[in-house]
Structure 1
Protein backbone atom coordinates (compact mmCIF):
# COMPACT_ATOMS: atom_id res chain seq x y z
CA UNK A 1 0.00 0.00 0.00
CA UNK A 2 1.23 3.49 -0.85
CA UNK A 3 0.04 6.75 0.67
CA UNK A 4 1.24 10.30 1.07
CA UNK A 5 0.11 13.35 3.04
CA UNK A 6 -0.68 16.46 1.04
CA UNK A 7 0.14 19.74 2.84
CA UNK A 8 -2.61 22.36 3.21
CA UNK A 9 -2.75 24.92 0.40
CA UNK A 10 -2.24 27.84 2.75
CA UNK A 11 -1.73 28.62 6.41
CA UNK A 12 -4.99 30.58 6.70
CA UNK A 13 -7.32 29.37 9.44
CA UNK A 14 -10.04 26.95 8.43
CA UNK A 15 -13.45 28.55 8.19
CA UNK A 16 -15.24 25.20 8.16
CA UNK A 17 -15.10 22.06 10.24
CA UNK A 18 -13.40 19.11 8.58
CA UNK A 19 -15.23 16.04 9.88
CA UNK A 20 -13.55 12.73 9.09
CA UNK A 21 -15.73 9.63 9.25
CA UNK A 22 -13.44 6.63 9.21
CA UNK A 23 -13.35 2.97 10.07
CA UNK A 24 -12.73 -0.39 8.48
CA UNK A 25 -14.70 -1.61 5.47
CA UNK A 26 -18.20 -2.85 6.28
CA UNK A 27 -18.83 -0.74 9.39
CA UNK A 28 -21.44 1.43 7.68
CA UNK A 29 -19.51 4.64 7.01
CA UNK A 30 -21.32 5.31 3.73
CA UNK A 31 -24.76 4.60 5.14
CA UNK A 32 -24.09 6.87 8.14
CA UNK A 33 -22.77 9.69 5.96
CA UNK A 34 -25.77 9.42 3.61
CA UNK A 35 -28.13 9.74 6.59
CA UNK A 36 -26.15 12.73 7.96
CA UNK A 37 -26.39 14.53 4.63
CA UNK A 38 -30.14 13.95 4.51
CA UNK A 39 -30.59 15.37 8.02
CA UNK A 40 -28.25 18.35 7.66
CA UNK A 41 -28.08 19.75 4.16
CA UNK A 42 -25.50 22.34 5.18
CA UNK A 43 -22.91 19.55 5.36
CA UNK A 44 -20.78 19.19 2.24
CA UNK A 45 -19.57 15.72 1.26
CA UNK A 46 -16.13 15.53 -0.28
CA UNK A 47 -16.72 12.79 -2.86
CA UNK A 48 -13.70 10.55 -3.03
CA UNK A 49 -12.14 9.55 -6.32
CA UNK A 50 -11.28 5.91 -7.00
CA UNK A 51 -9.83 3.79 -9.76
CA UNK A 52 -11.69 0.66 -8.61
CA UNK A 53 -14.61 -0.74 -10.56
CA UNK A 54 -18.12 0.26 -9.59
CA UNK A 55 -19.90 -2.50 -7.61
CA UNK A 56 -23.18 -3.92 -8.94
CA UNK A 57 -26.00 -1.70 -7.67
CA UNK A 58 -23.61 0.96 -6.35
CA UNK A 59 -24.83 4.51 -6.93
CA UNK A 60 -22.93 6.61 -9.46
CA UNK A 61 -22.50 9.35 -6.85
CA UNK A 62 -20.79 7.00 -4.35
CA UNK A 63 -17.40 7.93 -5.84
CA UNK A 64 -15.92 9.73 -8.77
CA UNK A 65 -14.94 6.60 -10.73
CA UNK A 66 -11.91 7.38 -12.87
CA UNK A 67 -8.94 5.84 -14.65
CA UNK A 68 -5.47 5.46 -13.12
CA UNK A 69 -4.16 7.98 -15.66
CA UNK A 70 -6.67 10.69 -14.70
CA UNK A 71 -6.15 10.01 -10.99
CA UNK A 72 -2.37 10.29 -11.34
CA UNK A 73 -2.71 13.50 -13.36
CA UNK A 74 -4.98 15.07 -10.71
CA UNK A 75 -2.53 13.92 -8.02
CA UNK A 76 0.41 15.53 -9.86
CA UNK A 77 -1.55 18.81 -9.93
CA UNK A 78 -1.94 18.74 -6.11
CA UNK A 79 -5.65 18.06 -6.38
CA UNK A 80 -5.99 15.69 -3.40
CA UNK A 81 -6.15 16.35 0.33
CA UNK A 82 -5.13 12.73 0.89
CA UNK A 83 -4.73 9.61 -1.18
CA UNK A 84 -3.86 5.97 -0.82
CA UNK A 85 -3.52 2.78 -2.83
CA UNK A 86 -5.48 -0.16 -1.41
CA UNK A 87 -5.97 -3.61 -2.98
CA UNK A 88 -4.44 -2.31 -6.22
CA UNK A 89 -6.72 0.72 -6.57
CA UNK A 90 -6.22 4.42 -5.84
CA UNK A 91 -8.55 6.31 -3.50
CA UNK A 92 -8.29 10.05 -2.85
CA UNK A 93 -10.20 12.97 -1.35
CA UNK A 94 -10.16 16.14 -3.45
CA UNK A 95 -8.77 19.22 -1.73
CA UNK A 96 -11.82 21.04 -0.28
CA UNK A 97 -12.62 24.73 -0.43
CA UNK A 98 -12.60 25.67 3.26
CA UNK A 99 -13.73 29.24 2.59
CA UNK A 100 -17.34 28.29 1.81
CA UNK A 101 -18.20 28.16 5.51
CA UNK A 102 -19.86 24.77 4.98
CA UNK A 103 -18.64 21.94 7.15
CA UNK A 104 -16.94 19.24 5.10
CA UNK A 105 -17.42 15.51 5.64
CA UNK A 106 -14.74 13.09 4.48
CA UNK A 107 -15.64 9.39 4.40
CA UNK A 108 -12.21 7.76 4.23
CA UNK A 109 -10.15 4.79 5.33
CA UNK A 110 -7.73 4.94 8.27
CA UNK A 111 -4.63 5.65 6.14
CA UNK A 112 -6.31 8.69 4.62
CA UNK A 113 -7.57 9.84 8.02
CA UNK A 114 -3.98 9.77 9.32
CA UNK A 115 -2.85 11.97 6.43
CA UNK A 116 -5.62 14.51 6.99
CA UNK A 117 -4.94 14.66 10.75
CA UNK A 118 -1.30 15.47 9.97
CA UNK A 119 -2.02 18.11 7.32
CA UNK A 120 -5.11 19.53 9.09
CA UNK A 121 -4.75 18.88 12.84
CA UNK A 122 -7.92 20.89 13.49
CA UNK A 123 -9.96 18.21 11.71
CA UNK A 124 -12.19 15.98 13.83
CA UNK A 125 -11.93 12.21 13.39
CA UNK A 126 -14.99 10.12 14.27
CA UNK A 127 -14.03 6.46 14.10
CA UNK A 128 -16.80 3.93 13.42
CA UNK A 129 -16.64 0.39 14.78
CA UNK A 130 -18.81 -2.63 13.92
CA UNK A 131 -20.78 -4.24 16.76
CA UNK A 132 -18.92 -7.50 16.00
CA UNK A 133 -16.60 -9.02 13.42
CA UNK A 134 -19.42 -11.36 12.35
CA UNK A 135 -21.74 -8.40 11.68
CA UNK A 136 -18.98 -6.70 9.73
CA UNK A 137 -18.59 -9.86 7.62
CA UNK A 138 -22.36 -9.99 7.03
CA UNK A 139 -22.35 -6.38 5.81
CA UNK A 140 -19.44 -7.02 3.44
CA UNK A 141 -21.19 -10.09 2.00
CA UNK A 142 -24.41 -8.06 1.66
CA UNK A 143 -22.77 -5.41 -0.46
CA UNK A 144 -21.46 -7.98 -2.92
CA UNK A 145 -17.75 -8.04 -2.16
CA UNK A 146 -15.99 -11.22 -3.40
CA UNK A 147 -14.81 -13.63 -0.69
CA UNK A 148 -11.08 -12.91 -1.12
CA UNK A 149 -11.73 -9.16 -0.69
CA UNK A 150 -13.90 -9.82 2.37
CA UNK A 151 -11.07 -11.83 3.94
CA UNK A 152 -8.58 -9.05 3.15
CA UNK A 153 -10.88 -6.35 4.58
CA UNK A 154 -11.45 -8.33 7.79
CA UNK A 155 -7.71 -8.90 8.18
CA UNK A 156 -7.11 -5.20 7.54
CA UNK A 157 -9.78 -4.29 10.12
CA UNK A 158 -7.78 -6.10 12.80
CA UNK A 159 -4.82 -3.82 11.98
CA UNK A 160 -6.81 -0.60 11.47
CA UNK A 161 -8.97 -0.59 14.58
CA UNK A 162 -6.19 0.00 17.15
CA UNK A 163 -4.64 2.68 14.92
CA UNK A 164 -7.98 4.37 14.26
CA UNK A 165 -8.97 4.34 17.92
CA UNK A 166 -5.64 5.85 18.96
CA UNK A 167 -6.02 8.59 16.35
CA UNK A 168 -9.75 9.25 16.84
CA UNK A 169 -11.20 12.26 18.59
CA UNK A 170 -14.42 10.27 19.08
CA UNK A 171 -15.63 6.77 18.30
CA UNK A 172 -19.06 5.23 17.80
CA UNK A 173 -20.19 1.61 17.54
CA UNK A 174 -22.62 1.30 14.63
CA UNK A 175 -24.95 -1.31 16.09
CA UNK A 176 -28.17 0.54 15.24
CA UNK A 177 -28.15 3.06 12.40
CA UNK A 178 -30.65 5.63 13.71
CA UNK A 179 -28.98 5.80 17.12
CA UNK A 180 -25.53 6.12 15.54
CA UNK A 181 -26.72 8.96 13.28
CA UNK A 182 -28.44 10.68 16.25
CA UNK A 183 -25.18 10.49 18.23
CA UNK A 184 -23.18 11.83 15.32
CA UNK A 185 -25.60 14.76 14.76
CA UNK A 186 -25.40 15.63 18.47
CA UNK A 187 -21.61 15.54 18.26
CA UNK A 188 -21.53 17.82 15.19
CA UNK A 189 -23.88 20.26 16.93
CA UNK A 190 -21.55 20.33 19.94
CA UNK A 191 -18.48 20.83 17.74
CA UNK A 192 -20.15 23.76 15.99
CA UNK A 193 -21.05 25.27 19.36
CA UNK A 194 -17.46 24.85 20.56
CA UNK A 195 -16.19 26.94 17.62
CA UNK A 196 -18.82 29.62 18.14
CA UNK A 197 -21.33 28.68 15.46
Structure 2
Protein backbone atom coordinates (compact mmCIF):
# COMPACT_ATOMS: atom_id res chain seq x y z
CA UNK A 1 0.00 0.00 0.00
CA UNK A 2 1.32 3.45 -0.93
CA UNK A 3 1.49 6.19 1.68
CA UNK A 4 -0.84 9.11 0.91
CA UNK A 5 0.80 12.32 -0.24
CA UNK A 6 0.72 15.05 2.39
CA UNK A 7 -1.81 17.75 1.44
CA UNK A 8 -1.38 21.48 1.41
CA UNK A 9 -3.58 23.29 3.87
CA UNK A 10 -5.99 26.03 2.72
CA UNK A 11 -6.54 28.73 5.35
CA UNK A 12 -9.72 30.78 4.88
CA UNK A 13 -9.99 34.08 6.76
CA UNK A 14 -11.78 37.38 6.37
CA UNK A 15 -13.73 40.00 8.28
CA UNK A 16 -16.63 39.30 10.59
CA UNK A 17 -19.97 38.65 8.86
CA UNK A 18 -18.35 38.07 5.46
CA UNK A 19 -19.86 34.59 5.48
CA UNK A 20 -16.85 32.41 6.37
CA UNK A 21 -19.01 30.03 8.40
CA UNK A 22 -21.71 29.87 5.73
CA UNK A 23 -19.19 29.20 2.97
CA UNK A 24 -17.35 26.57 5.05
CA UNK A 25 -20.65 24.85 5.90
CA UNK A 26 -21.60 24.75 2.22
CA UNK A 27 -18.20 23.27 1.34
CA UNK A 28 -18.78 20.61 4.01
CA UNK A 29 -22.31 19.93 2.71
CA UNK A 30 -21.47 19.75 -1.00
CA UNK A 31 -17.94 18.30 -0.81
CA UNK A 32 -17.80 15.85 2.11
CA UNK A 33 -14.34 14.72 0.96
CA UNK A 34 -12.93 18.12 2.04
CA UNK A 35 -11.80 18.01 5.65
CA UNK A 36 -12.74 21.11 7.68
CA UNK A 37 -11.32 21.88 11.07
CA UNK A 38 -13.75 22.55 13.91
CA UNK A 39 -12.44 25.38 16.11
CA UNK A 40 -12.71 25.63 19.87
CA UNK A 41 -14.14 28.76 21.47
CA UNK A 42 -14.87 30.16 24.90
CA UNK A 43 -17.93 32.09 23.72
CA UNK A 44 -21.40 30.63 24.35
CA UNK A 45 -23.14 28.96 21.39
CA UNK A 46 -25.65 30.89 19.31
CA UNK A 47 -29.12 29.35 19.21
CA UNK A 48 -28.45 27.66 15.84
CA UNK A 49 -25.02 26.21 16.70
CA UNK A 50 -24.27 22.62 17.64
CA UNK A 51 -21.30 21.73 19.85
CA UNK A 52 -18.77 19.67 17.91
CA UNK A 53 -20.28 20.64 14.57
CA UNK A 54 -19.97 24.43 14.41
CA UNK A 55 -17.45 24.78 17.27
CA UNK A 56 -16.23 22.91 20.30
CA UNK A 57 -17.53 25.14 23.11
CA UNK A 58 -15.17 25.05 26.08
CA UNK A 59 -14.68 26.88 29.37
CA UNK A 60 -11.86 29.34 29.95
CA UNK A 61 -10.12 26.75 32.14
CA UNK A 62 -10.34 24.10 29.40
CA UNK A 63 -8.98 26.57 26.85
CA UNK A 64 -6.10 27.49 29.19
CA UNK A 65 -5.25 23.79 29.54
CA UNK A 66 -5.25 23.30 25.76
CA UNK A 67 -2.78 26.20 25.42
CA UNK A 68 -0.57 24.83 28.21
CA UNK A 69 -0.54 21.36 26.64
CA UNK A 70 0.39 22.72 23.18
CA UNK A 71 -2.83 21.36 21.68
CA UNK A 72 -3.64 24.46 19.60
CA UNK A 73 -2.14 25.26 16.21
CA UNK A 74 -3.26 28.85 16.72
CA UNK A 75 -5.46 30.82 19.05
CA UNK A 76 -6.55 34.41 19.57
CA UNK A 77 -8.90 36.71 21.42
CA UNK A 78 -11.47 37.76 18.82
CA UNK A 79 -13.59 40.93 18.97
CA UNK A 80 -12.04 41.63 22.39
CA UNK A 81 -14.42 39.15 24.01
CA UNK A 82 -13.86 35.42 23.47
CA UNK A 83 -10.98 33.12 22.55
CA UNK A 84 -10.95 30.89 19.50
CA UNK A 85 -8.39 28.29 18.48
CA UNK A 86 -7.62 25.42 16.12
CA UNK A 87 -6.85 21.99 17.58
CA UNK A 88 -3.45 20.94 16.19
CA UNK A 89 -3.69 17.13 16.03
CA UNK A 90 -6.73 16.79 13.72
CA UNK A 91 -5.13 19.20 11.21
CA UNK A 92 -1.86 17.28 11.19
CA UNK A 93 -3.69 13.95 10.83
CA UNK A 94 -5.82 15.18 7.90
CA UNK A 95 -2.78 16.56 6.06
CA UNK A 96 -0.74 13.41 6.68
CA UNK A 97 -3.63 11.33 5.29
CA UNK A 98 -3.56 13.38 2.07
CA UNK A 99 -7.01 14.91 2.55
CA UNK A 100 -8.06 18.23 1.03
CA UNK A 101 -8.02 20.29 4.24
CA UNK A 102 -9.34 23.74 5.12
CA UNK A 103 -9.28 25.96 8.19
CA UNK A 104 -11.87 28.71 8.61
CA UNK A 105 -10.30 31.13 11.09
CA UNK A 106 -9.81 34.81 11.91
CA UNK A 107 -6.93 36.99 10.72
CA UNK A 108 -4.93 36.68 13.95
CA UNK A 109 -5.10 32.91 13.69
CA UNK A 110 -4.09 32.97 10.02
CA UNK A 111 -0.96 34.94 10.93
CA UNK A 112 -0.03 32.35 13.54
CA UNK A 113 -0.57 29.48 11.10
CA UNK A 114 1.67 31.28 8.56
CA UNK A 115 4.48 31.13 11.15
CA UNK A 116 4.18 27.36 11.65
CA UNK A 117 2.89 26.27 8.22
CA UNK A 118 4.13 28.83 5.67
CA UNK A 119 3.46 26.35 2.85
CA UNK A 120 -0.31 26.69 3.40
CA UNK A 121 -2.44 28.61 0.90
CA UNK A 122 -3.95 31.69 2.58
CA UNK A 123 -7.29 32.83 1.12
CA UNK A 124 -9.00 36.10 2.03
CA UNK A 125 -12.81 36.00 1.84
CA UNK A 126 -13.96 39.50 0.97
CA UNK A 127 -17.46 41.03 0.92
CA UNK A 128 -18.67 42.57 -2.35
CA UNK A 129 -18.88 45.94 -0.51
CA UNK A 130 -18.69 47.49 2.95
CA UNK A 131 -22.45 48.16 2.85
CA UNK A 132 -23.14 44.47 2.18
CA UNK A 133 -20.92 43.46 5.09
CA UNK A 134 -22.85 45.77 7.43
CA UNK A 135 -26.17 44.44 6.06
CA UNK A 136 -25.08 40.83 6.71
CA UNK A 137 -23.94 41.58 10.24
CA UNK A 138 -27.14 43.43 11.16
CA UNK A 139 -29.29 40.89 9.32
CA UNK A 140 -28.09 37.88 11.25
CA UNK A 141 -29.45 39.45 14.45
CA UNK A 142 -27.10 37.58 16.80
CA UNK A 143 -25.26 40.54 18.33
CA UNK A 144 -26.23 43.54 20.40
CA UNK A 145 -25.68 47.03 18.95
CA UNK A 146 -22.51 47.30 21.05
CA UNK A 147 -21.22 43.94 19.78
CA UNK A 148 -22.01 44.90 16.17
CA UNK A 149 -20.04 48.12 16.52
CA UNK A 150 -17.07 46.25 18.02
CA UNK A 151 -17.20 43.70 15.17
CA UNK A 152 -17.38 46.44 12.52
CA UNK A 153 -14.35 48.14 14.06
CA UNK A 154 -12.47 44.83 13.83
CA UNK A 155 -13.74 44.30 10.26
CA UNK A 156 -12.23 47.62 9.12
CA UNK A 157 -8.83 46.45 10.38
CA UNK A 158 -9.27 42.99 8.83
CA UNK A 159 -10.21 44.38 5.40
CA UNK A 160 -6.98 46.40 5.39
CA UNK A 161 -4.99 43.14 5.60
CA UNK A 162 -6.21 41.70 2.28
CA UNK A 163 -2.82 42.10 0.57
CA UNK A 164 -1.22 39.80 3.18
CA UNK A 165 -3.09 36.82 1.68
CA UNK A 166 -2.11 34.69 -1.32
CA UNK A 167 -5.57 34.78 -2.97
CA UNK A 168 -8.78 36.81 -2.58
CA UNK A 169 -12.24 35.31 -3.12
CA UNK A 170 -15.19 37.73 -3.18
CA UNK A 171 -18.24 36.29 -1.42
CA UNK A 172 -20.96 37.93 -3.51
CA UNK A 173 -22.79 34.62 -3.92
CA UNK A 174 -22.11 31.62 -1.66
CA UNK A 175 -22.11 28.94 -4.38
CA UNK A 176 -19.61 30.91 -6.47
CA UNK A 177 -17.31 31.39 -3.49
CA UNK A 178 -17.57 27.66 -2.68
CA UNK A 179 -16.70 26.72 -6.27
CA UNK A 180 -13.61 28.95 -6.15
CA UNK A 181 -12.49 27.48 -2.83
CA UNK A 182 -12.99 23.89 -3.99
CA UNK A 183 -10.97 24.68 -7.12
CA UNK A 184 -8.21 26.17 -4.96
CA UNK A 185 -8.30 23.12 -2.70
CA UNK A 186 -7.79 20.87 -5.71
CA UNK A 187 -4.84 23.00 -6.81
CA UNK A 188 -3.43 23.14 -3.26
CA UNK A 189 -3.44 19.36 -2.93
CA UNK A 190 -2.27 18.74 -6.47
CA UNK A 191 -5.39 16.64 -7.04
CA UNK A 192 -8.28 16.94 -9.40
CA UNK A 193 -10.98 19.26 -8.11
CA UNK A 194 -12.84 17.38 -5.34
TM class, shorter-length = 0.7 to 0.9
Q: Which residue of 2 aligns with 1:92?
A: 85
Alpha-carbon separation, structure 2, partners of 1:64 and 1:140: 23
Moved over 6 A (4+): none
**1:117-145: CA deviation from partner (whole Å, max 9, x where unpaired):** 11100011110011122211221123212
TM-score, structure 1 normalization:
0.86
State the number of aligned residues. 182
Alpha-carbon separation, structure 2, partners of 1:104 and 1:81: 14
Alpha-carbon separation, structure 2, partners of 1:117 and 1:62: 23
1:191 to 177, 181, 188: 188
Displacement of 1:20 in angstroms is 0.6
Alpha-carbon separation, structure 1, partners of 2:110 and 2:83: 15
- Uncovered stretches (5+) of structure 1, i.e. residues with no partner: 1-13
Alpha-carbon separation, structure 2, partners of 1:137 and 1:50: 24
Q: Mean Cα displacement is larger for which, 46-55 or 100-109?
A: 100-109
Is this contact kept in 1: 2:76–2:109, CA < 8 A? yes
Is this contact kept in 1: 2:12–2:125, CA < 8 A? yes
TM-score, structure 2 normalization:
0.87
**1:143-185: CA deviation from partner (whole Å, max 9, x where unpaired):** 212111111111111111122x122110011111111111222
2:147 to 139, 146, 149: 149
Displacement of 1:187 in angstroms is 2.0
Secondary structure of 1:20's counterpart equals strand
Q: Which residue of 2 aligns with 1:3?
A: none
Give the alignment of 1:1-197 within 5 angstroms.
Answer: 15-60=6-51, 61-86=53-78, 87-95=80-88, 96=91, 97=93, 98-143=95-140, 144-163=142-161, 165-193=162-190
Q: Mean Cα displacement is larger for which, 143-152 or 110-119?
A: 143-152
Displacement of 1:194 in angstroms is 7.5
